Amino acid sequence: MESEVAQSAEIDAYIAGFPAEVQEILQKVRAVIRKAAPAAQEAMKYGIPTLVLNGNLIHFAGFKSHIGLYPTPSGIVAFKKELAGYASSKGAVQFPLDKPIPYALIEKITKFRVKENLARAKMKAKKDKQ
């Protein structure tokens, strides 16, 4: 339990390093992801906030002009249409700070990733039993 508190404190410290308006967005992104993945644990990985559930679930980060969301390549592919208006790469998408952040889409992507990670863990457990 202590490490969970420390991890949250690390993410709090990360978010505190941004201007107030970006902090507000990052806290909301964090809350949306936490709500969509209540069983996930918070951690700092690759120097950015990460939620972990049977492996890395989703990462998010703040930048000068955008919020980065890293839902793995599968999360990008699954929501290709919805993400078409945003700069993206194989495993990342950028939400510009000068436009509304699509919180509902972030929630949908997170829920998709939860299902994906739980299914992968179930398959692995099945395989390990054989």
The 10s digit of each residue's pLDDT in 17-38 is: 999 999 999 999 999 999 999 9
Which amino acid, one-letter code, is at 30? R
pLDDT at 126: 65
Give the pTM.
0.89
Residue written as tokens 């967005």? 25
What's the mean per-residue pLDDT of the chain? Answer: 91
Asked whether the beta carbons of 23 and 15 are under 8 A apart, the reply is yes
Q: Render 3-25 in DSSP notation, one character per residue.
A: HHHHHHHHHHHHHHTS-HHHHHH
Report pLDDT digits (tens) over 93-107. 999 999 999 999 999
For residue 8, pLDDT over 90 is answered with: no
C-alpha distances (whole Å) from 20 to each of 12, 17, 25, 87 are 13, 9, 9, 24
